[in-house]
Every structure is written in C-alpha cells, then in structure tokens.
Amino acid sequence: MLEEYFRETNEKKLLYQANKIAGSIQKENYLIDESKSAIFEKELEEKSKEESIRILVVDNKGIVVNDSNKTEIGKTYLVPEVVVALDGKDEANLRKEEGVVYASAYIENENSEKIGVVLLISSFDDVNNLIYEISQKWLLITIGISIIIGLIVFFTTQIFIGPLKNILRIIQRITEGQLHQRILIKGHNEFSQLGTAFNNMTEKLETVESSRQEFVSNVSHELKTPLSSIKVLSESILLQSDMPIEMYKEFLQDISSEIDRMTNIINDLLSLVKLDHKEAGLNIKETDINKMAEEILKRLYPLAEKKNIELFYESNKNMIIDADEVKLSLAISNLVENGIKYTPNNGMVKLIVDGDHQNCFISVQDTGIGINEEEQGKIFNRFYRVDKTRDRETGGTGLGLAITHSAVLLHNGSIKVISKENNGATFVVRLPIKYAE
Ligand code: ADP
C-alpha cells in the first residue's frame, strides 16, 4: 500500500514537473531559437540540480537535444515514454528493476505539431529504502506486540486454569464416590463463589446419600422384623409334632397378622414412592375441601367407634382448592387415623376446616397421649416412631406422617404440630386456596 501510494505521488509530481518544463521550453522557443541554447542548457542544469532529477530533451526524431547528465546528447533515445509522448500522450512509469521513475511531456510548436519531448528520470531508491525501513520496523513492532499479547494470554489463562483444574480434580473425586471432598475457598471472586456453590451442592448430595442409606437400612430392618416372627412361628409349628388344632390356628393367625404388617409397610412405601415423583404425577382438580373432610370422617367412623372415640367435625368456611384428591385425602386420613390411634378409649378427635383469604387450614385435634417437644421435629421422618413397642401393637409403620408431609408439600402447603406430652396433639395443614365460596 505504501509503495503504491509513493509510486502514484511520485509519478504525478514528476509528470507535473515534465509538463512545466515542456511549457517553458515551448514559451521561450528554446527548441527552435538556437541563440537561446546556452540559456536553455543552463536552466535545465539548474533545475536538474534543484530537484535532483535527470532532464532529457528529445526532438521529434528521438534524438537527444539536451541531457542534464551530458552523456546522451546526439544519441537516439526512443524509450516507450518518449514514443507515447510524441504521439500526444504524457506518461509516467515506475521501472522497478532500475529503481527509477520516467515521466514524459510533449513540446508543441504554434501549429500544435509535436516537436519534441521532455523526459524526466527520478530515482525511486529513496522511497524503496524508506518502504524497506518502515516494513522492517513494522515487522519488529508486530513481533514485539505478538510476544506481549502471547505472554498476557499465557499468564491470564494460568490464573483461570489453576482454580478450574482444582475444581475439576474435586469433581473427579466426588464422581468416584468421595462425597466428603470440598473445594478450598480463597479470596472473593467468581471462582470462590463457584466453589462455595459447589460445596453447598456437595453437602446436599452427601445429605441425600446418607438419608438414602438410612432409608434402605430402615426398610430392611422394618421388613426383617415381621419376617423373623414368621420364621419363628413357622418353625415352632414344624417342631411340635402333636400340636392341638387351636394352637395351630393361633400360630397361623399370628403369621397372618405379620404378613398384614408387611403388606402395610409395602403399601405405604409405594405411596411414598408415588409422592416422590413430584408434580408430574399429580392429578389436580378443583376440590371442595369440606366435602373431602366429610368423606374422610365417614370412612373412619367405624375405626373410632371401636375405641368409643367421638369424631367431631367443624366447618367455618367453604373453600375450593386445587388438589390431587387421592393424595390429599390420604394425607388428611393419616392424621385422623393417628388421632384415633394415639388417643385412649373414650377420647375425642376433632377435624376443623377454617381459612383466611389466601389459605385454608385443616386441623386435626385429639385428646391423646401427645408428643413431647423433642420428638416433634422427628415425627415426619420416614420410619420414625416415638414408642416402637406401642406402635407394633397399633400396627403403625412409621411412614404415615412422612406420606402426609410429602403430599402437603406437593400441594404447596405446610404442616405443623402443636402438642404437649399426655395432653393431646393438634396437626395443622395449611394449603393455598383457589377461591372461597
Ligand atoms: P405410625 O404409622 O407409627 O403412626 P406416623 O408416621 O403416622 O407413623 O407417625 C410417627 C409417630 O408420630 C408415631 O409413631 C407416633 O409416635 C407419633 N404420632 C403421630 N401422630 C400422633 C398423635 N396424634 N398423637 C401422638 N403421637 C403421634
């Protein structure tokens, strides 16, 4: 680009000078008037020195009339620029291999006949040298800048890659099962934030993993107990050769109730698994909460009657909620069943439906054994039972409240317990309402 630019300006400048000289030769009549040849020669010499260019004047036959270098006078000098100029066209050309620029301009007489040509030859070496110097410097600057950019990129990537490699190493260890691994947090930047988020996630993973293990061991334990009983009972039958038929029946009755217990546990586990499938498995419909409560109570009256427990129902507000009827009904039933289960004979269980403009509250109150404060935080855990021996008698699986809790959460609600030991218990379920009637 630079060469092109210099070439063009040089050619234009030289062409302009050639035209100027041709004009003055024409004006002063130097080519025709021989008496002026000495002045003509001197002027050309001065001009040549002044501009550091060689000036040749060629007549219309191509013979050199004047040469500032004096070497070509009288010789034929028909370079293409001269030929073209004699034809009436001024021209300037760079001759790269010679390192010079040629520019020609024709001289006319009064009748506009071409009587000669002014040919200027100027060195292009200076420009070539300049371009060479610039390109050399440019090359050095480019190499320098590239090295600096390279170093900056190298060091900045090192700064980023270091912590990333560390995170990657920890991820690999966690993938191998070492869930206790944590990222060391240094400073306060995006990496430390990423590390903190990652550590929180790993902590959650660890909790999930340990609760999964606990759950599996609980399930195994819960199923093992009735199985061992069945084993003992059946072996007793086998060992006794002449057992009375009544005894047989009694043992088989025990085996049957152990099987019922296992069936209960498995059914409850299946309910929990279904609830674990989250929103996808929900069959949401507009549900009249009072109607649902009445139906639950109707189903459970016989159970309460067996213990001579009075079942009360109080409805303070009519509300419609969005609910999966089967799952929510199971959740509330569990609470009422627990009320009956953990209230001694001749007690009372009350179901109250109330609400405000946003939520409905379903409370299940009983006059039973209550739950001490320490246990209240644990009763929603799977397989948690306050009194294991009593629960074996009542047939509890320890999964009822876990099922209720999951179902309530799936309906965007919450559950809490208010109780004192030996002073009854109240479970309150809060659910968002769709509209009140
Ligand atoms: P279970 O099948 O043993 O009843 P739940 O998950 O329903 O299991 O309840 C967990 C434990 O919470 C019970 O074992 C019982 O000790 C306690 N509990 C639940 N409801 C009541 C209640 N209404 N009164 C007293 N204790 C309760």
pLDDT of residue 96: 84
Ligand 1 centre distance from Cα of residue 423 (Å): 15
Domain containing residue 22: CATH number = 3.30.450.20
Whether residue 157 has pLDDT greater than 60: yes
pLDDT of residue 280: 59
Whether residue 230 has pLDDT greater than 80: yes
- Residue 194, judged by CB atoms within 10 A of its CB (0-12, 13-18, 19+), counts as middle
Q: Are strands 310-315 and 348-355 parallel, antiparallel or unpaired?
A: parallel
Same domain (yes/no): 260, 286: no
Host domain of residue 267: 190-276
Cα(124)–Cα(2) distance, rounded to whole angstroms?
13
- In a domain, residue 207? The reply is yes
Same domain (yes/no): 96, 218: no
Q: What is the mean pLDDT of the chain?
A: 90
pLDDT of residue 391: 53
- In a domain, residue 177? The reply is no
Same domain (yes/no): 270, 335: no
Cα(315)–Cα(94) distance, rounded to whole angstroms?
107
Same domain (yes/no): 309, 381: yes
Same domain (yes/no): 261, 303: no
Q: Are 347 and 334 in contact (CB under 8 A)?
A: no
Sheet holding 100-108, edge to edge: 64-67, 54-59, 114-123, 100-108, 91-95
Same domain (yes/no): 291, 229: no
Q: Is 120 in the pocket of ligand 1 (CB under 6 A)?
A: no
Site to substitute for ligand 1 among 275, 338, 367, 386, most atoms within 8 A of C-beta = 338
Of ligand 1's listed atoms, the one at least distance from the Cα of 268 is 2
Whether residue 341 has pLDDT greater than 80: yes
What is this structure's pTM? 0.59
Same domain (yes/no): 293, 408: yes
E strand or H helix at 415: strand 414-419
Q: Is 375 in the pocket of ligand 1 (CB under 6 A)?
A: no
Same domain (yes/no): 268, 287: no
Same domain (yes/no): 294, 224: no
Q: Which of 104, 123, 142 is where one domain is finished? A: 123
Ligand 1 centre distance from Cα of residue 382 (Å): 11
- In a domain, residue 183? The reply is no
- In a domain, residue 198? The reply is yes
pLDDT of residue 179: 87
> How do residues 193-211 score in pLDDT, each as one tens digit?
999 999 999 999 898 888 8
Cα(198)–Cα(72) distance, rounded to whole angstroms?
90
- In a domain, residue 34? The reply is yes
Same domain (yes/no): 316, 390: yes
Specify the residue with its C-alpha closest to ligand 1, atom 7.
Answer: 400
What's the structural domain count of the chain? 3
Cα(407)–Cα(371) distance, rounded to whole angstroms?
22
Average pLDDT score over residue span 52-59: 93
Cα(57)–Cα(117) distance, rounded to whole angstroms?
6
Q: Is 191 in the pocket of ligand 1 (CB under 6 A)?
A: no
Q: Which of 241, 258, 276 is where one domain is finished? A: 276
CA-wise closest residue to 321 among 417, 403, 412, 415: 412
Q: Is 368 in the pocket of ligand 1 (CB under 6 A)?
A: yes
Q: Is 371 in the pocket of ligand 1 (CB under 6 A)?
A: yes
* Amino acid residing at 179: L
E strand or H helix at 167: helix 125-175
Q: Is 65 in the pocket of ligand 1 (CB under 6 A)?
A: no
Domain containing residue 215: CATH number = 1.10.287.130
Same domain (yes/no): 419, 310: yes
Whether residue 145 has pLDDT greater than 90: yes
Domain containing residue 354: CATH number = 3.30.565.10
Q: Which of 84, 99, 123 is where one domain is finished? A: 123
> How do residues 394-412 score in pLDDT, each as one tens digit?
667 888 999 999 999 999 9
Q: Which of 56-60, 141-145, 376-380 has the highest mean pLDDT?
A: 141-145
Site to substitute for ligand 1 among 261, 365, 387, 401, most atoms within 8 A of C-beta = 401
Site to substitute for ligand 1 among 300, 311, 342, 350, most atoms within 8 A of C-beta = 342
pLDDT of residue 431: 97
- In a domain, residue 393? The reply is yes
pLDDT of residue 200: 94
Same domain (yes/no): 306, 422: yes
Q: Is 331 in the pocket of ligand 1 (CB under 6 A)?
A: no
CA-wise closest residue to 385 among 406, 402, 368: 402
Beta bridge partners of 430: 361, 414
pLDDT of residue 395: 67
Beta bridge partners of 54: 121
- In a domain, residue 95? The reply is yes
- In a domain, residue 184? The reply is no
Q: Is 385 in the pocket of ligand 1 (CB under 6 A)?
A: yes
